[in-house]
Structure 1
Amino acid sequence: MGINLGDVFPNFEADTTAGRIKFHEWLGNSWGILCSHPADYTPVCTTELGRMAKLASEFQKRNVKMIALSIDSVQDHHGWTKDINAYIGASNVEKLPFPIIADEKRELAVQLGMLDPSERNKEGLPLTARAVFVIGPDKTLKLSILYPATTGRNFDEILRVIDSLQLTAYKKVATPVDWKAGGDCMVLPSISEEDAKKLFPKGIQMQELPSSKKYLRFTPHP
């Protein structure tokens, strides 16, 4: 099982720390990010969810709803939340700024291809890998990243990718290697020189190449 880019993300129903949800209804007209975690009360996951909580305002200003998944119960999630908030120095805060899905039977983990066969729990069952899914307002999958259970995510990179996804969804540009918001973009190869001049009034910089092919075209952030 699994899901590919461009597929409609499953409209699953699940119990969460914010009550029962139906995913598409919960997402509404927002972008969404779903991050899976091997288990509650585990070290790397605690650092990740703490980082997500601290970045809540960054996701919010990008119109991205956050949701996490772990294979334990809602009750366990509530207990773990206290540890996560203590880790980030917010012991007086009772909740996280996003729900955590309970996936005790691993049904969602299997459906979305999130199991890591090389990392197992004490019962010998595969742990949930660190999947990242970014879903667009049209409910289709825009990005997936799969980390092994032993490697924590880089949320600076995830925010950078979301900036690129949102820009390229609405503007006829691509973003080059190591691009950051505000940086120069690339004109899509499918756009003619004539159309490019109309679309990008800030100008286009063409890089000369040994092949004489005119495909490296840069333009300021539109």
Structure 2
Amino acid sequence: MPGLLLGDEFPNFEADTTIGRIKFHDFLGSSWGILFSHPKDFTPVCTTELARAARISDEFKKRGVKMIALSIDSVEDHRNWSKDVMAFNSEAESPLPFPIIADDKRELAIKLGMLDPDEKDKDGMPLTARCVFVIGPDKKMKLSILYPATTGRNFDELLRVIDSLQLTAQQKVATPVDWKPGDKVMVVPSISEAEAAALFPKGVTTKRCLLGRNTCGTLSSEETLKINPH
């Protein structure tokens, strides 16, 4: 949807999927959710992405994140494609562990601002870009990433950023550059030194900038592991 911003309530759309008709908010329930779109079924980059997502689906499940994909083809095409995806993973007899939304009329892709104007199919119609939306249990958008159709995603990065989103939703901390679970984190600037000491009894290291105008608090790795739910 044009104008859909971080913190906005994610549209409660209805759609046909490989598991039947869904209403998006009901599908999520009280879970976190990730919706990732694909330009077209049976295309090579998309197949590698779905295969990777299937291989690490347990990692999303551990984090309480429901997965759902979208592509601008029919449910029947999605089901046939799913067999190819799992065969790519050498698991031809296993079902795809998450549903795919059918959007053959591009209605949802247009509503969510997913179309890539530079990439078109054989009929000259724009393909869906590789969008990623992470939605919180409150049904609000917590993250959006937009890749062009020609660039595959990094699902390790998606797991890393979900770890950060979930940690910072629970604790008054922020994660610095290249952070990963177990690394040190920063106390948010609105927390006083006294409050930080109370919240993090193992101690906070304060580093001052060159002119002494700004400070940042950093927790120990042990404290980070303690408050990280994963």
Give me the TM-score of the superposition, normalised by structure 1. Answer: 0.98
* Paired letter, 2:148: P
Matched residue pairs, number? Answer: 221
Counterparts in 2 of 1:35-184, with a 5 A limit? 35-93=36-94, 95-184=95-184
What SS does structure 2 have at the residue aligned with 1:216? Answer: strand
What SS does structure 2 have at the residue aligned with 1:207? Answer: strand
Residues 197, 204 of structure 2: 8 Å contact kept: yes
Shift in Å, 1:108:
0.6
Match of 1:215 in 2: 215
Residues 206, 214 of structure 1: 8 Å contact kept: no
* Paired letter, 1:163: D
What SS does structure 1 have at the residue aligned with 2:15? Answer: strand
Residues 208, 215 of structure 2: 8 Å contact kept: no
Shift in Å, 1:207:
1.5
CA distance in 2, matches of 1:211, 1:55: 45
CA distance in 2, matches of 1:170, 1:83: 39
What SS does structure 1 have at the residue aligned with 2:143? Answer: strand
Residues 135, 143 of structure 2: 8 Å contact kept: yes
**Residue 28 in structure 1 maps to residue 25 in structure 2:** no
CA distance in 2, matches of 1:189, 1:90: 48
Shift in Å, 1:92:
1.8
CA distance in 2, matches of 1:185, 1:4: 26
Superposed structure 1 runs of 4+ greater than 3 Å apart: none
CA distance in 1, matches of 2:173, 2:200: 10
* Structure 2, unpaired ranges of 5+: none
CA distance in 2, matches of 1:91, 1:26: 26
Q: Once the two structures are superposed, what CA deviation does each residue of 1:16-38 show, in whole Å capped at 9, x if it has no partner?
A: 00000000001000000000000
* Paired letter, 1:144: S
Q: Once the two structures are superposed, what CA deviation does each residue of 1:171-192 show, in whole Å capped at 9, x if it has no partner?
A: 0000000000111100100111
What is the alpha-carbon root mean square deviation over aligned residues? 0.8
Give me the TM-score of the superposition, normalised by structure 2. Answer: 0.94
What SS does structure 1 have at the residue aligned with 2:108? Answer: helix
